[in-house]
Amino acid sequence: MARYMVLIYGDAQQWDTMTDEQWKAHNAAHAAFVAKAGAQVIDGQQLESVPTATSLRSDALGRINTTDGPFLETKEALGGYYLLEAADLDEVLSLATLLPEVHATHSGVEIRPVVDHG
């Protein structure tokens, strides 16, 4: 079985303005995804909002600089993830269609295989 990282991106302003009812529907969709994926879900978490991010980079002299926020300025931000174990990408794609971010116009999902160094 291979492992896949499902990265969930969206417009943080849209998430911040969701009503309680919208959050309930959103969370119910995630619960349906987790129920369908079952033991294939190795881990998954919602991330704190973009302003809480801290980035590290080195400069030309090798000094490490710490900055507030993500690496890139972008409208869409990483909002959460799932780490799945699946037979192949097709299986992950089938599950990922259950995520509410796939169906919203302000968000999306990226799926990447995890490198196995073993």
Q: Report whether 55 contacts 66 (CB < 8 A).
A: yes
What average pLDDT does this structure show over 61-73? 78
- Residue 29 to residue 96: CA distance in whole angstroms: 11
CATH topology of domain 2-47+76-113: Alpha-Beta Plaits (3.30.70)
- Residue 67 to residue 53: CA distance in whole angstroms: 9
Query: What is the pLDDT confidence band of residue 36, given thresholds at 50, 70 and 90?
Result: very high
Query: What is the pLDDT confidence band of residue 49, given thresholds at 50, 70 and 90?
Result: confident
**Could you tell me the residue ranges of all domains in the chain?**
2-47+76-113
* DSSP state at residue 105: T
